[in-house]
Structure 1
Amino acid sequence: MAAQRLDPEQWPRREVYRFFSGMQNPFYMVTFQLDVTELRAYTKQNGLSFYYALVWLCTEACNEVEAFRLTLRGGEVWRLDRRDPSFTDLAPGSEVFHIVTLPAGKDLTAFCRDAARKSRAQTAFIDHGAENDALIYFSCLPWVELTALTNERDADPDDAVPRIAWGRYVEREGRLMLGLSLEVNHRLIDGVHIGRFAQALERRIAALAAR
């Protein structure tokens, strides 16, 4: 994945970055409510997976916000051209999940079909050859309404891979609402960036109604 090294002296966030770099655990988690009414209608009408579609939409929203495309390599900050999704999935009838990684591409429908095809064909738990620092980790707990979530991780403060997860959507006042959780590295991503991600995601979902 192509990337460009940032000049730390020209980076407006350099003091914030240095402040959180002194912490052993610079990670934090935010969960917010997302209206997925239009997304559910669109996927149902077009015979697409709601899960794969939301993975793609979140990936596109992340790539729109530069802070989500930052990574740490050898003590330096790099800007990625883009990130791609790596998500958990379950085969029908199985209780053992596997991790699927593939490029998001530029088309929601194509991604949903490619993701389903790759997930069905995958026999290993994970493709270690596809693992890199230019991913977004996704998971889903469709059995419960999600209000908060933490993620397992090695004690590596340079881990810059965003974690995104959600649970079951529920109906409230005629709208389908879903709790979506993000866990990010505060060395690179602030609350304002999470706000921009949420706005980008909401805008993409709302646009599905016009398709």
Structure 2
Amino acid sequence: MKYLDIDNWNRKQHFEHFRTLTDPTFGLVADVDVTKAYLSSKEKGNSFFVRYLHACMKAINAVENFKYRIEEDKIAIYDVINASPTIARKDNTFGFSYVLFSEDFEEFNHNFQQEKKRIENSTNLFPPKYSLGCIHCSAIPWVSFTGHKEPFSGNKNDSVPQLSFGKIKETNGKKILPVAINVNHALADGYHVGQFFQKFQQELDKID
């Protein structure tokens, strides 16, 4: 991990401006085509959620600004961004996980399954290990939403991106997944969110 040179950053004024706001976050919902990920998971017996989450994490790690985190008056740059998805239990509660990212799907899937097993055999809400070098995400497979709002802690330094994945809808023979994303505007703009969705779709289209 290293720190950003804020004084020479071309977004210095943007950073300083958005930090003055009561709530500096912004979010939106966009659709992605998960047809290949869905078919692949069914053919190979993999979890569909893990399949598209891996593609999502590859995209997250490909966008520089999504690796930035506000730490007091500094901006830390994390080398790798991991995943912290909510994982459901049989009693309809959930636990927060911390899944180490790997470019290799099988390794990432192994890491996810280990966390899933831990949560299913625990009543703890929080994982034993955690770092700001992650994203928070959850699946809401009961609703194909077009809008979404994340809880806000009130801490303007909160800068971990938050994502939610909705219920698949069928459109022209394709399986479409609504994806909500919420980011701190002090660190990222619509351009960076657009980069993420472009790279996410590219990763999904590579799946065989």
The alignment's TM-score, normalised by the length of structure 1, stands at 0.92
Displacement after TM superposition at 1:121 (Å)? 2.9
Query: Within the alignment, does 1:51 sit opposite 2:69 as a pair?
Result: no
RMSD of aligned Cα (Å):
1.4
Displacement after TM superposition at 1:176 (Å)? 0.6
3-state SS, counterpart of residue 155 of structure 2 = coil
| Higher mean displacement: 118-127 or 7-16 | 118-127
Letter in 1 for 2:104: D
1:31 corresponds to: 29
3-state SS, counterpart of residue 89 of structure 1 = strand
- Tell me if structure 2 keeps the 8 A contact 1:146–1:178: no
1:106 corresponds to: 103
3-state SS, counterpart of residue 91 of structure 2 = coil
> Residues of 2 paired with 1:7 and 1:47: CA distance?
46
Displacement after TM superposition at 1:94 (Å)? 2.3
Q: Residues 18-69 of structure 1, C-alpha deviation per residue, up to 9 Å, x if partnerless?
A: 1111111000111001111111011111111111122222111111000000
Query: Within the alignment, does 1:117 sit opposite 2:88 as a pair?
Result: no
* Percent of matched pairs sharing the same residue: 23
2:86 corresponds to: 88
Letter in 1 for 2:195: R
Q: Residues 130-182 of structure 1, C-alpha deviation per residue, up to 9 Å, x if partnerless?
A: 22211100101101112121112311111110001111111111111111000
Displacement after TM superposition at 1:199 (Å)? 0.8
The alignment's TM-score, normalised by the length of structure 2, stands at 0.94
The aligned length equals 206
1:140 corresponds to: 139
Displacement after TM superposition at 1:128 (Å)? 4.5
Mark the runs of 5 or more structure 2 residues left unpaired by the alignment.
none
1:199 corresponds to: 198
- Tell me if structure 1 keeps the 8 A contact 2:150–2:162: yes
Letter in 1 for 2:112: A
1:73 corresponds to: 71
